[in-house]
């Protein structure tokens, strides 16, 4: 959300001038951004965070990510979406996986596969693909999911497979908001990347492209980090003021995060042979929109800029699953779910960054280093 502040700096939901009454037709309430500056708004329809649904999202620690620009270079400007401000935290309320069908069904309904021809994540798992067992998701040995929240307190939830994360999110919808919450898509993650690397507040020099991107700006007494995301740099999103700004936490460092993007192991950009490389070493087959490139530039940022590296995974026979969803476990899966951001368990800082990608885990992989957060669909 926009950081809405008193001039003293204390965070509030909305500061309203006493003379203004809801629905009276006057100007909107006086709002302040993250720097304590007034946001001047005009009369008319409400900004998205002023709606009843928007207030519910804010109350549950979701923020609005602005659009108004073309993320995947298809000639169409993307709109904005809601994103959890923090990574998921597990509650003590267990949920069941009944109603999700088998693994094929769950993946087909919640994940998009990379298409080499279109160079976008726009393909569904084929009907009766044969890649996964026909057992209902609820009967998978070792399957676990609980309701999650998105609070700053406590440790982020790791050791959730991508399919467990889907079940947890489906059972953690924001009541009264009206927007469906699931894993962020690859296009949405790259929307975050573009908004972050083109914002001077996220660079050590205070200028875009000079110095180094922070691994997120440090906050509090811990080593936790946030990035600043603003409207108006790459495009103007009509749902928020042009000078709207917000913060999203732990996108880099802490646990890595699942997205809803999948790639067949034969379609990975290094063929599973080269392991970890700089983005500058990825070939022409890699879609340009998927690379950390500054707006209007041609130079691909590398890990030295703070964006992280690309990790292609193993070619030992597939990606890794710890849940038996294919008929076996280990390096057996023909698909990788795209993992983004930091990975504290690896102890490898080169894979910690907003653009870091790992393509070594199947949808049944569980490890303390991999967590997730929620995102809405695009908002028209």
Question: Per residue in 224-264, pLDDT tens?
Answer: 678 999 999 899 999 999 999 999 998 987 889 999 999 99
User: What per-residue confidence (pLDDT) applies to 315?
Assistant: 79
Alpha carbon 264 to chain centroid distance? 21
Confidence grade of residue 37 (pLDDT, cut at 50, 70, 90): very low
Q: Is residue 315 part of a domain?
A: yes
**Per-residue confidence at 22, pLDDT binned at 50, 70, 90?**
very low
In a domain, 152, yes or no: yes
For 220-340, strand residue ranges (E) read: 224-230, 245-249, 256-264, 276-277, 310-311, 319-321, 330-333, 335-340
Tokens 């007034």 appear where?
38
Q: Is residue 14 part of a domain?
A: no
Whether 148 shows a pLDDT value over 50: the answer reads yes
Percentage of residues in the chain having pLDDT higher than 70: 84
User: Which residues span the domain enclosing 279?
Assistant: 45-376
Task: Please provide the DSSP assignment of 232-251 as one string.
Answer: SSS---TTS-TT-EEEEE-S
Residue 27 belongs to some domain of the structure? no
Phi and psi based region of residue 91 (left: phi greater than 0; alpha: psi -120 to 50; beta: remaining): beta
Lowest mean pLDDT among 18-27, 62-71, 134-143, 233-242: 18-27
What pTM value is reported for the model?
0.87
When pLDDT is cut at 50, 70 and 90, the band that residue 222 belongs to is: low
Burial class for 95, CB neighbours closer than 10 Å (0-12, 13-18, 19+): middle
- What pLDDT does residue 343 have? 60
**Residue 104, Cα to own-chain centre: how many angstroms?**
23
Which structure tokens are listed for 148?
């999650």
357 lies in some domain: yes
Which pLDDT value is given to residue 352?
82
Rounded CA separation 281/286 (Å): 10
Q: What angle do CA 23, 13, 35 make, to 5 degrees?
A: 115
Supply φ then ψ for residue 138, to 5 degrees. -65, -15
Encoded tokens for 71:
């993320």
Q: What is the pLDDT, as a whole number, of residue 306?
A: 87
What is the average pLDDT across 153-175? 95
Crossing angle for the helix pair 162-170 and 103-110, nearest 10 degrees?
Answer: 70
Mean pLDDT of the chain: 85
Residue 380 Cα distances to 77, 82, 85, 179, 232, angstroms: 11, 12, 21, 11, 18
SS3 196: helix
**Pairwise CA distance, residues 71 & 287, whole Å:** 12
Average pLDDT for residues 302-306, to the nearest whole number?
90
- Which pLDDT score is estimated for 355? 93
Judged against a pLDDT cut of 70, whether residue 166 lies above it is answered with yes
Q: What is the pLDDT of residues 342-378, one digit of tens each?
A: 765 444 566 788 999 999 999 999 999 899 999 999 9
The answer to whether position 327 is within a domain reads yes
Q: Please compute the mean of the pLDDT values over residues 142-149 and round it to a whole number.
A: 96
State yes or no: pLDDT of 31 exceeds 50. no
Flag whether 330 is in a domain.
yes
Average pLDDT over residues 279-283: 92
**Residue 355 to residues 20, 290, 291, 311, 333: CA-CA distances in angstroms?**
44, 9, 8, 11, 24
Residue 38 included in any domain: no
User: pLDDT per residue over 64-118, tens digit each?
Assistant: 999 999 999 999 999 999 999 999 999 999 999 999 999 999 999 999 999 999 9
Total number of domains constituting the chain: 1
Min mean pLDDT across 7-16, 246-255, 313-322, 337-346 is at: 7-16
């Amino acid at each position: 959300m926009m950081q809405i502040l008193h001039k003293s700096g204390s965070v509030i939901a909305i500061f309203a001038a006493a003379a203004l009454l809801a629905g009276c037709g006057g100007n909107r309430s006086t709002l302040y951004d993250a720097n304590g500056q007034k946001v001047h708004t005009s009369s008319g329809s409400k900004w998205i965070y002023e709606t009843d649904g928007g207030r519910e999202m804010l109350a549950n620690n979701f923020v609005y990510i602005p659009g108004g620009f073309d993320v995947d270079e298809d000639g169409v400007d993307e709109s904005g979406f809601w994103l959890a401000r923090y990574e998921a935290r597990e509650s003590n309320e267990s949920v069941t996986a009944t109603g999700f069908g088998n693994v094929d069904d769950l993946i087909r309904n919640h994940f998009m596969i990379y298409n080499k021809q279109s160079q976008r994540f726009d393909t569904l798992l084929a009907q009766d693909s044969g890649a996964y067992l026909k057992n209902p998701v609820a009967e998978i040995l070792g399957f676990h999911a609980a309701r999650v929240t998105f609070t700053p307190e406590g440790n982020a939830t790791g050791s959730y497979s991508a399919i467990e994360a889907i079940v947890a999110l489906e059972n953690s919808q924001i009541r009264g908001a009206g927007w469906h919450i699931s894993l962020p898509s690859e296009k949405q993650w790259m929307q975050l990347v573009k908004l972050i690397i083109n914002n001077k507040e996220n660079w050590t020099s205070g200028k875009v492209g000079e110095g180094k991107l922070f691994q997120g700006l440090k906050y509090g007494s811990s080593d936790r980090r946030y990035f600043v995301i603003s409207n108006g740099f790459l495009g103007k999103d009509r749902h928020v003021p042009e000078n709207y700004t917000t913060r999203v936490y732990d996108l880099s460092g802490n646990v890595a995060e699942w997205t809803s993007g999948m790639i067949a192991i034969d379609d990975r950009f290094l063929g599973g042979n080269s392991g970890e490389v700089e983005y500058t070493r990825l070939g022409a087959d890699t879609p340009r929109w998927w690379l950390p490139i500054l707006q209007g530039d041609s130079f691909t940022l590398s890990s030295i800029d703070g964006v992280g590296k690309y990790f292609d995974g193993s070619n030992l026979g597939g990606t890794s699953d710890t849940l038996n969803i294919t008929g076996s476990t280990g390096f057996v899966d023909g698909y990788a779910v795209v993992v983004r951001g930091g990975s504290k368990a690896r102890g490898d800082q080169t894979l910690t960054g907003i653009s870091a990608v790992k393509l070594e885990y199947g949808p049944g992989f569980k490890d303390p280093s991999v967590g997730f957060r929620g995102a809405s669909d695009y908002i028209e």
